Structure 1
């Protein structure tokens, strides 16, 4: 098998696992690019192609894996989903799709049998609610979404999303357990690299290392005091006057959860502000916290229910506002700092350590860490289009003009960027690209561990393949020949 083909299969095998682990706190959201319009375009094309009241053949059973049925329509739906994500129909066969679904069912089946794996309904409900909100927002209409999924009403769609998400979460939890203790040594990385033929070694695209210096407009104390006073009034209405926390959240909270009455399900492992988690986990059921500060603003939190290691909470966040005067002062300050750097009075590294107000990067001279790889390199194609030109046109050591950005909660700040290193497109080099090669080697070892687990579990699990799928040449021994 060609190395590039094997890399593709590794990536395909780890789609669900990667999605499950994607909740990473990013130091700078401007360095991540997502195609926000592709899903909408593809779904709309699918909807246009669906003719109402078309008579469909009876849905047959393609396979049975443990306690799970796989219907012919499941395979059809997976193909449609793949096409929405940009995969051509000619690139993947029904046999490959069936094999992938059977793997997911096998993981989910054994996750249910494993007493150490727990997936709560509350977690899945919260996940499905957020997913539905995103999809409606992207496509613009619940009716279009219902038509695409061929559902009669919103509840039917919610039930379908819950079923899909619970099975996927179980499958990914099982995968995580299989590979949780898989580690790799430097010698294994070397052996992995050496066995790749020179003409098949991967090519890495243009990469850059970036540092940034951030200055935030100061929030006047009187603005903070106003927010705290308002949250105290809201808390008093809830605790002493019997007002609804959910209603207050809808009216006053300044984040995306406000539309759901501030509702969240959290665990201690979630990448949330540490002060927020500490307060939430110190509450008793029904208790409402006093106002407290996090890195995002001021909050009050109510604990609704404790579910094992998870909490069902509601929260309200209010964000003190900067003034035009403090915004202008911040812009003036960073402009003066930039002039000091450009004139050679201070290095960018020293200036970032001295002045930057981004605590995550200040200690490293503003050096940014790629949240996807854990190293300092960013592929140019992964950088936000809004700053791509600013970075792409910089030479090593040059400093960008002052840029204005904003946090997830809409708070504006200013930054300057410098290019600390540039790596042109190149064939993988063991010494220069060790981190990336190690990741590939680890994935292969994890992939092999999963293959071994599959072989063992298929042999001891009830499996029945029906109809045309009995003629498939599966990678795994599903037919138990």
Structure 2
């Protein structure tokens, strides 16, 4: 495989994982200075260090700074050309609007903003938001161009066989895998329990109207980890970003007005509208989560266990039950089937969440686990899992793993298409690198195009 192909693959890797990286940003130890310019795209020295640090965390051996820079250069060529492609929708505004939501999602994992910025080594929230926007922009344009170049790629059965015969000694061993389907249900609160929560919020609202600040009450009582420490404040909310009951209540308020308690999938809220400007608004809220008590959990277990009995007795299929009863929106319309990040339903046992791995231990293909307690979207659920398939560890074989090998062959063909496209575009893109990389030797066509400062 040519060096340009290797570096492109590394570059695509960084683009494709950028959604995950945005939740693990390590922008600290900033190194000032522009490392490279590709068209109108700028690469900072800190960007190079960031890629190297992430590669180290992932156990990559490809840590040579020159090779990392080469992958970034090729990735940036793709992004630069994508932004100039009039057939690719300009989504800069949408990406910018989405930054606040992602920022708040990350913030929800920490007690306060200061703790988050310290953990990710950013100096300010503004700096972190800029980094998220930059990563998401590159990811969007990089993927859009990649898809437009490779959209017609296909492989024939003969090409799959040729690929297998050529690379079979290099193909990885498949680890123990399972295909799983699940039904998860949120325990239902009794009307008395709901009334208790509503009355708590009514009392909090009355205290605010009597002189307590909404901000202080949110810090004391709100159970929203993403906003409680900030006095319940959520800024620059885009229409459509929040769940419908929340948004409907917030946008029906006048600035400064406080809503009555409203129910959403997360619990009960009171909301204060701070500011409304076009499609953007700021609001504070106090959330009391609908945390079920032991009796409500027991009732949910009993209900799901009765559904399990219907399935075991052949009166209903697992697929029908998932569609009718499951509260897991990710899987209920797909027969309850769990998938991994790349959409595959084959899950490595070793990578399963601990609770799930423990619950399916000892079960065989076709078995259904007992009903057990778990968490989903930070809420208590009761769950049962069906083992749809169990695949022992084995070496990839064309007889048993045709679809997987076909995808590998297709990926190789796509890589070759990108390789050819990049080589054709390199002479037409301005590329300049800082002289600290003057000793690097890049792939031939790339080396010719570089103007060292």
Q: Fold match, TM over 0.5? A: yes
CA distance in structure 2 between the aligned counterparts of 1:233 and 1:110, rounded to whole angstroms: 58
* 1:104–1:363 distance in 2 versus 1, CA, 3 Å: closer
- Contact 2:150–2:418 at 8 Å: present in 1 too? no
Structure 1, unaligned runs of 5 or more? 24-35, 51-57
- Contact 2:11–2:71 at 8 Å: present in 1 too? no
Counterpart for residue 116 of structure 1: 90
Instruction: Choose which of 411, 416, 434 in structure 1 pairs with 2:384.
Output: 416
Would you say how many aligned residue pairs link Structure 1 and Structure 2? Answer: 434
Shift of 1:405: 0.9
Instruction: Choose which of 41, 65, 68 in structure 2 pairs with 1:94.
Output: 65
Shift of 1:105: 4.8
- Contact 1:175–1:450 at 8 Å: present in 2 too? no
**1:64 and 2:32 aligned:** no
Shift of 1:15: 2.8
Counterpart for residue 165 of structure 1: 132
Shift of 1:296: 2.8
Local SS of the residue matching 1:415: strand
C-alpha offsets along residues 294-336 of structure 1, whole Å, 9 cap, x if unaligned? 333234554745576x665554433234333333333344455
- Contact 1:112–1:170 at 8 Å: present in 2 too? no
CA distance in structure 1 between the aligned counterparts of 2:311 and 2:390, rounded to whole angstroms: 20
C-alpha offsets along residues 165-202 of structure 1, whole Å, 9 cap, x if unaligned? 33322211221331454675795364663441322455
Instruction: Choose which of 431, 441, 450 in structure 2 pairs with 1:473.
Output: 441
CA distance in structure 1 between the aligned counterparts of 2:104 and 2:51, rounded to whole angstroms: 21
Counterpart for residue 80 of structure 1: 53
* 1:15–1:434 distance in 2 versus 1, CA, 3 Å: farther
- Contact 1:182–1:445 at 8 Å: present in 2 too? no
C-alpha offsets along residues 386-432 of structure 1, whole Å, 9 cap, x if unaligned? 22133242112223233211233333x32222212222334556686
Counterpart for residue 188 of structure 1: 155
Local SS of the residue matching 2:389: strand
* 1:117–1:406 distance in 2 versus 1, CA, 3 Å: closer
CA distance in structure 1 between the aligned counterparts of 2:316 and 2:340, rounded to whole angstroms: 26
* 1:375–1:165 distance in 2 versus 1, CA, 3 Å: closer
CA distance in structure 2 between the aligned counterparts of 1:457 and 1:359, rounded to whole angstroms: 45
C-alpha offsets along residues 63-83 of structure 1, whole Å, 9 cap, x if unaligned? 333455555565445433432
Counterpart for residue 14 of structure 1: 13
Q: How does 1:293-442 map to 2 (within 5 A)?
A: 293-300=263-270, 302=273, 304-305=275-276, 314-335=284-305, 344=313, 349=318, 352=321, 356-358=325-327, 360=329, 361=331, 367-411=336-380, 413-428=381-396, 436=404, 440=408
- Contact 2:441–2:447 at 8 Å: present in 1 too? no
* 1:357–1:176 distance in 2 versus 1, CA, 3 Å: closer
Q: How does 1:176-325 map to 2 (within 5 A)?
A: 176-179=143-146, 181=148, 184=151, 188=155, 190=157, 193-198=160-165, 199=168, 200-201=170-171, 203-231=173-201, 246-258=215-227, 259-260=229-230, 261-263=232-234, 273=243, 275-276=244-245, 279=248, 286=255, 291-300=261-270, 302=273, 304-305=275-276, 314-325=284-295
- Contact 1:254–1:317 at 8 Å: present in 2 too? yes
CA distance in structure 2 between the aligned counterparts of 1:242 and 1:450, rounded to whole angstroms: 64
- Contact 1:189–1:437 at 8 Å: present in 2 too? no
Local SS of the residue matching 1:197: helix
Local SS of the residue matching 2:336: coil
Local SS of the residue matching 1:196: helix
C-alpha offsets along residues 86-144 of structure 1, whole Å, 9 cap, x if unaligned? 334xx33111111233345556666777882315656446645655775899x98976x
Counterpart for residue 33 of structure 1: none
CA distance in structure 2 between the aligned counterparts of 1:59 and 1:186, rounded to whole angstroms: 41
Shift of 1:468: 5.6
Local SS of the residue matching 2:366: coil
Q: How does 1:434-473 map to 2 (within 5 A)?
A: 436=404, 440=408, 443=411, 447=415, 451=419, 454-455=422-423, 458-467=426-435, 469-473=437-441
Structure 2, unaligned runs of 5 or more? none
* 1:297–1:446 distance in 2 versus 1, CA, 3 Å: farther
Deviates more, 1:390-399 or 1:242-251: 242-251
**RMSD, aligned CA:** 4.9
C-alpha offsets along residues 29-83 of structure 1, whole Å, 9 cap, x if unaligned? xxxxxxx9xx89xx9xxx9xx9xxxxxxx97764333455555565445433432
